Structure 1
Amino acid sequence: MASTTRQRHWLARVSLAAAVASVLVLAVFAGLRTLALLGVGLAGTALTVAAVWWALTRRRLSRALAVLLAVAAPVWVVVAYTSAGLAWVVALSGALWALAVGTGRSALAAADVPVGMAERPAPKARRPVLIMNPRSGGGKVDRFGLREKAEALGAEVVLLEGPGRADVAELARAAAADGADLLGVAGGDGTQALVAEVAAALDLPFLVIPAGTRNHFALDLGLDRDDPSRALDALRDGVELSVDLGRAGGRTFVNNVSFGAYAEVVQSPAYRDGKTRTTLDLLPDLLMQHGGARLTARAGDTVLTAPQALLISNNPYGTGDIAGLGRRARLDGGELGAVGVTVANAAQAAGLLRGDRAAGLTRVTATEVVVDADRPTIPAGVDGEALTLSVPVRCVVQPGALRVLVPRLRPGTRPARAALDWRGLARLALH
């Protein structure tokens, strides 16, 4: 423990020293030219941010010109510094800054590593039933031979086949009624949530096989998303975790439920076939508040008024993550994370880069979040699945509701990335 504490202090000192050195390098080697070139750098950054904002909120020719400006502005900055013979100075300063950020994050991560989720011995499953979606994740079930490997381990496999949409929850309930003592899913997070709800209600262990596209739930459980077949190791050498579940409007979610701009995009019929194109087509109206419901959310004692995007997560994401794309430090904290985003102009868009200190960002944790709107129903993205929910939408957490079977040895059991807090680093360095 003492060795780890000393390591944290030294990492913090290295981080602060590298940050100071990155500034001194510019001042010492560039001299008075630093001020003029600093102005060039700031102007280039401002132009780039404005251009990105215009690209997101405009269409057709205006968007194309904005993209051109977003590329040209950084190039102009690089050319200006290179012409002044300071390219090597900038490169050295950038390397020192990268060192400062890297060691700073390591120091903070080491300073606040949460205790891992408690593991307990898992009972041997006598009749495991695994539901697999052959189409999920671009065909991962076939590509990794998941069916054959599961059956070799004694599991019964139910494939989601046919042109229609199968009732996954009903299949899980039927399997349990027929004697299954473990339920599992090879598919995306939306399918995982449907079967997880059944497993939790019946107090059956649940096996996650990351065969979807993003597999955020599997990420936070520490599973190998590059090789989903490794999750099957839990059937022969597994441990059990108790994790929380979220519920929104009566629907279970394992990751998050989103409202506002993102939910409007997910709701589009074209989203499944062309996610990037659909998002770009819809963002101008959504960001400029030309459409969509006016939301209000109450999370504990905090009221979020008219956020353009609202994300409610089953346990909070890392403090540097405002979009639910990163990691959660744990899944058994017994609380929801709520993030509200309001962006009205390029300055506020750039301000989001400041993380928790951004003017357009509200972050809070609570055991219940109630979302209301100026219309009777609102679109929602529940673990990436498009739904329409009646307001008010009550989001709650169910602590320890799900028994999850995971391999004893899994590659991703590491803490979430820490946010960079310079004040915290200074306290560590001077301690």
Structure 2
Amino acid sequence: MGSAMSDRYHRRQRWAARCALAAVALAALLPLVSGGLKGLLLLAVGLAGLALTAAALWWVLSRRGPARTGAAALAVGTPVAVITLFAAANLLWVVFASLVLWCLAVWSGRYALRSTGLRPVRVKEYRTPPPKRPFLLLNPRSGGGKVEKFGLKEKAEALGAQVVLLDGDQHQDVTALARAAVADGADLLGVAGGDGTQALVAAVAAEHGLPFLVISAGTRNHFAMDLGLDRDDPSTCLDALTDGVELRVDLGFADGRPFVNNASFGVYGAVVQSPGYREDKVGAALDRLPELLTRQSGPRLTAGADGTTIADPQAVLVSNNPYRMDDPFGFGRRERLDSGKLGVLAVRVDSAVEAAELLLAPRPEGLTVLTAQHVVVEADASHLEVGLDGEALTLPAPVHCRIARRALRVRVPRNRPGVPEAPPRLDWRRLRKLAAAVGRTAAPSRSWRP
């Protein structure tokens, strides 16, 4: 019976692969079959419209005054004009049909490939006794007041935690507070606040070998998201105090300053320094970007990553484990937090043509994506502006980034939403082989079955 079920499953895989390839072929041929030469010309016009829109967006970001206004009008008007042309030729339905076929191809392809690769990453959980003297720092202003909204202070104290509310009106040294708590006998450190505050306290926990509790009360909660915590109800994170397990995750450092998410150099590192950035992020970015993108201000950067040199990028992002880049639905997520590698993402764009290539080309020259254990960011200036987990810092150049593998013990609830399983990367060569496979050869010997 098991062999028969396996054969049926592999047959479904093969047919899903064939369906994906057929959908792609139909999506490519539909404009030509439906509109003939006119359909082919309109398809070329559509691709040119995408390139022009990308170029116009570059001009919006890198220009000021009337030039920026004109570019914004072009960025909006070009897609409208292309859609109007398709509608006038009675081929607008072809666009929607092609989109549906592409969606079908992606879904079928992922179904076919989801069981032909290696097992997905499984994070090992360690069962340890609950803490006896947990110490928590809560920021009442974080996330628009989630601490008060969800009654985090009262719930934490009811579970036996010592709680300190941070005062948003004055600067407080959270590192000093955490170290004082350790000296007083705390056996767990936790934070409800932004990722920058999380990183500072996490470094103290890692330094003393103590478990660290993440409470998802920040605005974006990227670290909490990649830990699989509930970002809608931060009070559920407190369940880890009584019914929790531990994960061993990596911790990044930029010249000794810890980060749980990323360190950003160049454009974002400069924009985040703007006085009005917190109140108006878009306005602050539009105000600084023209000079930064055209290299009229800011230092010239050079990044070295384990022997690879990245020359003159406008932006460099060094992350605690690499971000996913192969899927728009998983973009901004990290598949794992314990690989012991830094993710490196560098962008260099010097013209509208290169901006269009960055958007449309499968492997644009202006985009560098790699992993490394050690990254050095140099500049033709004595200091570098850095965005460290969203916090604005200025560090002496060069800045050395490293990763401490599994240095942090993170205590999380045993029952939590978890990180959504990453869909497999679409590999059309593997799909063709799978579609042509016969019998049980559709899946390699290292496959796994759900």
C-alpha contact (below 8 Å) 1:318/1:416 kept by paired residues: no
1:359 and 2:369 are equivalent in the alignment: no
Q: Give the structure 1 partner of residue 315 of structure 2.
A: 309
TM-aligned CA deviation for residue 127 of structure 1 = 1.3
1:250 aligned partner: 256
Distance 1:412 1:103, change over 3 A: farther
Equivalent runs, 1:256-267 vs 2, <5 Å: 256-267=262-273
- Residue 372 of structure 1 aligns with an amino acid whose one-letter code is E
Aligned mate of 2:287, from 277, 281, 284: 281
Task: Find the partner of 1:203 among 201, 205, 209.
Answer: 209
**Counterpart pick for 2:77 among 56, 72, 75:** 72
Q: Report the Cα distance in structure 1 between the residues aligned to 2:389 and 2:158, rounded to whole angstroms.
A: 31
Tell me the distance in 2 between the aligned counterparts of 1:405 and 1:81: 55
The equivalent of 2:159 in structure 1 is 153
Aligned counterpart, 1:91: 96
Other-structure match for 1:377: 383
Q: What SS class does the counterpart of residue 97 from structure 1 fall into?
A: helix
Q: For residue 446 of structure 2, what is the aligned residue in structure 1?
A: none
**Structure 1 partner of 2:406:** 400
Find the partner of 1:235 among 241, 247, 250: 241
Relative to structure 1, the CA distance from residue 149 to residue 95 in structure 2 (aligned partners, 3 Å threshold; closer, same or farther) is: same
Contact 1:261 1:308 in 2 (8 A): yes
**How far apart, in 1, do the equivalents of 2:152 and 2:84 lie?**
52
Q: Contact 2:324/2:331 (CA < 8 Å) preserved in 1?
A: no
Deviations 1:189-236 (A, max 9, x none): 001000000000011100101111111111110111122112112122
Selected match of 2:226 from 217, 220, 227: 220
Work out the CA distance in 2 between the residues paired with 1:30 and 1:397. 55
Q: Say which SS state the counterpart of residue 415 (structure 2) adopts.
A: coil
Distance 2:154 2:412 in 1: 19
Distance 2:293 2:424 in 1: 29
**1:97-136 matches, cutoff 5 A:** 97-105=102-110, 107=112, 111-112=117-118, 114-136=120-142
Aligned length: 430
C-alpha separation between the residues in 2 aligned to 1:347 and 1:420?
27
CA 333–177 in structure 1, closer or farther in 2 if over 3 Å, else same:
same
* CA–CA separation in structure 1 for the residues paired with 2:362 and 2:405: 26
Task: Identify the match of residue 168 of structure 1 among 170, 174, 178.
Answer: 174
Report the Cα offset of residue 112 of structure 1. 5.0
- Distance in 2 between residues matched to 1:44 and 1:79, nearest whole Å: 12
Measured after TM superposition, the shift of residue 177 of structure 1 is 1.3
**Kept after mapping to 2: 8 A contact 1:237/1:408:** yes
Letter in structure 2 aligned against 1:135: R
Q: Distance in 2 between matches of 1:278 and 1:10?
A: 51
Find the counterpart in structure 1 of residue 33 from structure 2.
28
Report how far residue 106 of structure 1 moved. Answer: 5.3
The answer (yes or no) to whether the contact 1:109–1:415 under 8 Å persists in 2 is: no
Q: From the superposition, tell whether residues 388 and 248 of structure 1 become closer, same or farther in structure 2 (CA, over 3 Å).
A: same
- Among 170, 175, 186, the alignment partner of 1:180 is 186
Task: Return the TM-score normalized by structure 1.
Answer: 0.93
Which of residues 330, 341, 357 is equivalent to 1:335?
A: 341
For the residues of structure 1 that align with 2:294 and 2:273, how far apart are their CA atoms? 18
Given that 1:356 and 1:363 are in contact with CA atoms closer than 8 Å, whether structure 2 keeps it comes out as no
**Which sections of structure 2, spanning at least 5 residues, go unmatched?**
438-450
How far does the alpha carbon of each residue in 1:384-412 deviate from its partner, in whole angstroms, 9 at most, with x for none?
Answer: 11111112211111011000001112113
Q: 2:19 aligns with which of 14, 20, 23?
A: 14
Partner Cα separation in structure 2 for residue 167 and residue 174 of structure 1: 11
Residues 192 and 78 (structure 1 numbering): CA distance in 2 closer, same or farther, change over 3 Å? same
127-136 vs 40-49, which moves further = 40-49
Corresponding position of 2:274 = 268
TM-score (norm 2): 0.90
User: Shift of the alpha carbon at 1:415?
Assistant: 3.1
Distance in 2 between residues matched to 1:72 and 1:354, nearest whole Å: 19
Give the counterpart of 2:61 among 56, 73, 76: 56
Identical counterparts, % of pairs: 58
Superposed displacement of residue 135, structure 1: 0.6
User: Could you tell me whether the CA contact under 8 Å between 2:139 and 2:168 is conserved in 1?
Assistant: no
Alignment partners' CA distance in 2, 1:49 and 1:112: 37
Q: Give distance in 2, aligned partners of 1:252 and 1:330.
A: 18
Q: Give the C-alpha shift of residue 87 in structure 1.
A: 1.8
Look up the equivalent residue of 1:14 and give its one-letter code.
C
CA distance in structure 1 between the aligned counterparts of 2:399 and 2:424, rounded to whole angstroms: 31
Alpha-carbon distance change, 427 to 176 in structure 1, aligned in 2, over 3 angstroms: farther
Which residue of 1 is the match for residue 441 of structure 2?
none
After superposition, the Cα gap between the structure-2 partners of 1:142 and 1:402, relative to the gap in structure 1 and judged at 3 Å, is: same
Q: Does residue 46 of structure 2 align to residue 44 of structure 1?
A: no
Q: What's the secondary structure of 2:271's corresponding residue?
A: helix
Deviates more, 1:258-267 or 1:408-417: 408-417
In the TM superposition, what whole-angstrom CA distance separates every residue of 1:38-78 from its partner, at most 9, and x where no partner exists? Answer: 23212322221121111111122221221111111111111
> Equivalents in 2 of 1:298, 1:356: separation in Å?
24
Aligned residue number for residue 298 of structure 1: 304
Cα separation, partners in 2 of 1:166 and 1:401, compared to 1, 3 Å: same
Deviation string 1:352-383 (CA, Å, 9 cap, x unpaired) is: 23587111011221111111111111111111
- CA RMSD in angstroms comes to 2.3
Q: Report the CA distance between 1:321 and its aligned residue.
A: 7.7
Determine helix, strand or coil for the equivalent of 1:316: coil
Retained in 1: the 8 A contact 2:31–2:40? no
